[in-house]
Amino acid sequence: MTLAIVTGVAGFIGSNLAEALLKQGDTVIGIDNFNNYYNPRFKYHNVNALKEYPKFKLLEAEIEQVDWKTLLVDVEVIYHQAAQAGVRASWGESFRYYTERNINATQVLLEAAKNSPSLLRFIYASTSSIYGNAETFPTGETIAPQPISPYGITKLAAERLCLLYLQNFAVPIVALRYFSVYGPRQRPDMAFHKFFKAAITKKSISIYGDGQQTRDFTYVADIVAANLLAASHPDAVGEILNIGGGSRVFLSEVISQIEAIICTTLTKEYLEKARGDARHTAADISKAKNILGYAPQFSLIEGLTREWEWIKQLY
């Protein structure tokens, strides 16, 4: 069994990943600072599910404050999921949180990782936001990154730092570029969570733009599966891999599917397009398929239904 660290363990993806690791018998040290970017009660709710496992240890701290030399003894895999999330919030005065939590924290973790003799894999959670308005669809990893948000810039900078530590110190890096993740434990500021909650509270939903933007929506269990593959496959080290859901869908189509699931017509309020939002995203996942054997298992309708069941329990 593996000893793993999951940063951002109380978050949407981190908590799902940690639970999958614990279920397969691994020991997990989870790190989270429980910041107030969104209501921390959601994070504590996520972590409570993990505390049921005897092989889980929680460390509530900033990454920069951790005694990494001591903590990394015998650790074999680092899943670096922690980040300051959110495209729209990354403008203005809050940008410093993005540089601190996305770039500085990653550099601190890489510095510690370069001196760890037991470390077999360092998996960095990257994002499709680094592509911006990509030149081609579906978008492959060789397309030049052109981020159009401050958030995307900080995530790309951290990804490049990872590659530097691979090249100079042989840190066994794998970078996974996630595309529009959804599912149970999704953050309350994310679209599907807000849409489902609006159905329960009988409020209108806000749509930025005309609803004709497209996304490659990826169910969280497929993201988790990609992480597990990246941690175990010998050919993954040094690779940057797109992790998508396998299909590009109009936002308006997704809303129609949500309405069918909840048996309710949502009241829509159309707002001006948000700064930093890409018009379209679509992942070419052939590289992840070839190297990892990755293949998304969950259809959009199945994933949305599972998120709806979770939302109903939450509210």
Short-list 194, 203, 315, 179, CA closest to 258: 194
Q: 151, 165, 219, 294: which is the annotated catalytic residue? A: 151
Short-list 10, 21, 2, CA closest to 225: 21
Structure tokens at 314: 């939450």
Our CA dihedral for 77, 82, 83, 87, rounded to 10 degrees, sits at 100
Concatenated DSSP letters for the chain? --EEEEETTTSHHHHHHHHHHHHTT-EEEEEE---SSS-HHHHHHHHHHHTTSTTEEEEES-GGGS-HHHHTTT--EEEE------SGGGSGGGHHHHIIIIIIHHHHHHHHHTT-TT--EEEEEEEGGGTSS-SSSSBPTTSPP---SHHHHHHHHHHHHHHHHHHHH---EEEEEE-SEESTT--TTSHHHHHHHHHHHT--EEEESSS--EE--EEHHHHHHHHHHHHH-GGGTT-EEEE--S--EEHHHHHHHHHHHHTSPPPEEEEPPPTT--SB--B--HHHHHHH-------HHHHHHHHHHHHHHH-
Is 151 tagged catalytic? Answer: yes
The residues assigned a catalytic role are 151
